Amino acid sequence: MDLCSTQGAWLLFHNDMVLVKSKSPLTLPSEDEGASFTDKLLHRGALSPARGAFSWGEYPADEPAPQGFEPVGLRELWALGGDSVFHSAGTAFQMMDWRRNCRYCPRCATLMQPAEEGRAYACPQCAYVSYPTLSPAIIVAVVRDGKLLLAHGTRFPSGRYSVLAGFVEPGESLEETVEREIFEEVGIKVKDIAYFGSQPWPFPHSLMLGFTAHWASGEIVPDGVEIGDADWFTPENMPEIPPSISISRKLIDHWLSGGIA
């Protein structure tokens, strides 16, 4: 679905799913349909023109979905509508998730109110200002002698492997996070760390920062907690890998195309 065909449409969320009128072709609620629910919405807002200028809202989770709509997850929405709709829905979801989880001031517990400056909440009691939550995480393609390091996370679907990732901790540079996460998860050290690209990832509010690196020393020893198995793979013996929606797949495809020596 082309983004321009969705102007005026609504992104309505119910139990963290997006409500659509049809999956094929993907049809979102119209401006009038979305507006008819505004009195029931728990949270609502609008996206910038750069994200399609959608209106968005959260329908009460303890009520049945409105008649004539069916729920789809964000990953399914990408398959149905493509990158633009996925990124717009992901942005709206992150704003919604932040608003419902940050309704009260963390300093004095007063009910927060929308701030005049835009995407923020302000406390009318102590003037504390809260901005949308963003959690940076690194994701790394590590190469050794023409082979790519892939791991099976303990929460992955059976048989699926991917490149390694982890959240940035306070006081760390991104490069330090790369080194720490790789060592903690599989016991090896890396070198030649280079930035690859980034991707907003609304599960629920991550910013994925992609890197490439080369093996420096050590042998693979999965931590057994986050990583159940890991190995070096060649293009000829690849396991099941993530779908193309993710930066993890973009890193893997970059290596498969010869982009990482």
Q: Under DSSP, is residue 76 helix (H, G, I), strand (E, B) or coil?
A: helix
Residue 8 has pLDDT above 90, yes or no: no
Q: Rounded to 5 degrees, what angle do the CA atoms 166, 200, 225 make?
A: 20
12 near 59, Cβ under 8 Å? yes
Quick one: average pLDDT of 181-200? 98
Segments making up each domain of the chain, as ranges: 3-101, 103-132, 135-256
Spatial CB neighbours of 32, under 8 Å, sequence gap ≥ 6:
none
Both tokens of 85, joined, read 């709709």
Please report the DSSP string for 101-131 in residue order.
H--B-TTT-PBPEE-TTSS-EE-TTT--EE-
Residue 6 has pLDDT above 90, yes or no: no
How do beta strands 55-58 and 17-20 pair? unpaired
Burial bucket for residue 2 (CB in 10 Å: 0-12, 13-18, 19+): exposed
From the options 3.40.50.300, 3.40.640.10, 1.10.3710.10, 3.90.79.20, give the CATH code of 3-101: 3.90.79.20
Quick one: average pLDDT of 150-170? 97
Chain-centroid distance, C-alpha 97:
12
Give the global pTM. Answer: 0.88
- Encode pLDDT of 79-131 as tens digits: 999 999 999 999 999 999 999 999 999 999 999 998 876 689 999 999 999 99
Quick one: average pLDDT of 5-10? 69
Q: Which long-range contacts (CB under 8 A, 24 or more apart) does 171-177 make?
A: 174/136, 174/138, 174/209, 174/211, 175/211, 177/138
Q: How far is CA 23 from CA 7, 72, 156, in A?
A: 18, 9, 26
Query: What pLDDT is stored for residue 118 in this prediction?
Result: 66
> For the domain 135-256, what is the CATH code?
3.90.79.10
Both tokens of 148, joined, read 């790519």
User: Rounded CA gap, 85 and 58, in Å?
Assistant: 17
**3-101 and 135-256 share one fold:** yes
Which stretches of the chain are DSSP H helices? 31-35, 74-81, 83-101, 174-186, 247-256
What are the phi and psi torsion angles at 10 (to 5°)? Answer: -110, 145
